[in-house]
A and B are shown apart, each in its own frame.
Chain A
Amino acid sequence: MIKGLIGKKIGMTQIFDDQGVAYPVTLIEAGPCYITQIRRVDRDGYGAVQLGFGEVNPKRLTGGQLGHLKANQLPALRFLREFAVKENDLKIGDKVTVAEAFAQGDRVDVIGISKGKGFAGAVKRYHFHGMNATHGTSDRNRAPGSRSSGTTPGRVYKGSRGPGHMGMDRITAQNLKVVLVDAEHNLLAVNGSVPGSRGSLIMIKEARKQ
């Protein structure tokens, strides 16, 4: 079965295992997803499965999106994402649920879009130390300081860190442990935090580095 799902971040809480150990967990409403398309090595050059998640009113989709789904009698799905897979025993139209994809104790990678921070200074963005609070410092407490040398090289090296746009990046939280799988509510609880705000779209895959 495919080890991947699309979901929605619900929020964080704390749950206990049967030993009484408390885990900080992020809840994800994962699936059910439908297989909407299959990419084959011989035809497309790579092997992948396109999953769809989130049933919506068909009026919310464009004609092209609807045509893509209707060709296989699928409901109107809001999000479509591809997941690389090796096995090709999968069929278009198949439903994938949490209980089938993941089990308690699995290691997963969780991909999300991090919260946007706007135009952020170097202290927040790269953990620069800023300057002294005292010893004559005025109005420069969070300044980044010097960016480069003087006449030689006479320019700022490319890629040097400074203020700029922060957040809204695609972030992968690697190797998170699955603490709980709730088939009834389509819930997945992973240990620790997950990128993005509550309600944001989340992709869950089998961990790459186990």
Chain B
Amino acid sequence: MNELLKAVEAKPNENIPPLRTGDSVSVHVKIKEGDRERIQEFKGTVIRLRKGKNESSFTVRRLASNGIGVERTFLLRSPRLEKVVVERHGEVRRAQLYFMRGRTGRSARLKQKFEE
């Protein structure tokens, strides 16, 4: 890739560990309210990773009250992301977990995967 392109693109955020689909994560997002800045947490499961250097993104799905699913897509290199914490890895066989969209309650859980 062109070196000049790299010169202006955002650097990877050091507070974001490598993510995998199925991970339970907590995303800390900076939110501006008037002139005040605060951190909002968004907790859920990573159901999609889109790799592409500067344009990488990931989608986090969580079940809100009444079993309503909420999905949010974040740009991986966005300066609005304060940090991402991986709470546990889920055991999955797919790259995209769209099947989670049809699931609520007990069936919407993933088996935990432990590191060797």
Q: Which residues of A contact B (CB under 8 A)?
A: 10-11, 13-16, 18-20, 22, 27, 29, 180, 182, 185, 187, 189
Contact = CB atoms under 8 A, between A and B. Distances in A.
B78 A189 contact: no
Contacts of B7: 182, 185, 187
A10 B2 contact: yes
A96 B30 CA distance: 40
Interface residues on B, range: 10 to 19
A97 to B, nearest CB: 15
10 contacts: A13-B8, A13-B9, A13-B54, A14-B55, A15-B8, A16-B75, A16-B77, A19-B32, A182-B8, A185-B4
Contacts, number: 43
A4 to B, nearest CB: 21
A11 B2 contact: yes
A15 B78 CA distance: 9
B4 A16 contact: no
Interface of B: 2, 4-5, 7-10, 30, 32, 54-55, 75, 77-80
A27 B75 contact: no
B5 A20 contact: no
A22 B8 CA distance: 13
B83 to A, nearest CB: 14
B25 to A, nearest CB: 19
Given A10-B2, A16-B77, 9 more contacts: A14-B55, A15-B9, A20-B30, A20-B79, A27-B5, A180-B8, A182-B7, A185-B8, A187-B8
Contacts of B8: 13, 15, 27, 180, 182, 185, 187, 189
Contact of A20 (B4, B9, B54, B78): B78
